[in-house]
A = this chain, B = another copy of it.
Amino acid sequence: MDRIPSQMLKGILEGAILMIMAQGETYGYGLHETLADLGFGDIPEGTIYPLLLKLQKNGQIVGVRHPSATGPDRKYYHLTPLGEDAVTAFQGQWQQLAGAMTALITHGGDHDED
């Protein structure tokens, strides 16, 4: 599967990760797989971890280390109320963007000429 261009993911990945967390606690390395399953492509760790640190610093998520049965400890993150607000805001913004794009795509064929 082709990767979505990085410039196109800017500002969207952050919201996508918050939405994934809204559906259940997760950890950095696991996000990599979840994002790929959803169709976002192979998002590198150099993208995911700094983003998680930023979200935590912003008070939108909280992380706790837990041991894993199969390897090193995992740092599980879950949303704070602030993070839940961010999810709501992001969903609205996404819908506005998707709506504008739909208008642009749909409109193809029936534009007026002067």
A40 closest partner in B (C-beta) = B100
Query: How many chain copies?
Result: 2
Tell me the residues in window 14-55 of chain A with beta carbons closer than 8 Å to chain B beta carbons: 15-16, 19-20, 22-24, 34-35, 37-41
Residues of chain B with a CB closer than 8 A to A93's CB: 2, 4-5, 8
Contact B19 A108 (CB under 8 A): yes
Number of interface residues of A (CB under 8 A): 43
Chain B residues near A91 (CB, 8 Å)? 105
Binding site for B on A (CB under 8 A): 1-2, 4-12, 15-16, 19-20, 22-24, 34-35, 37-41, 91-94, 96-101, 103-105, 107-109, 111, 113
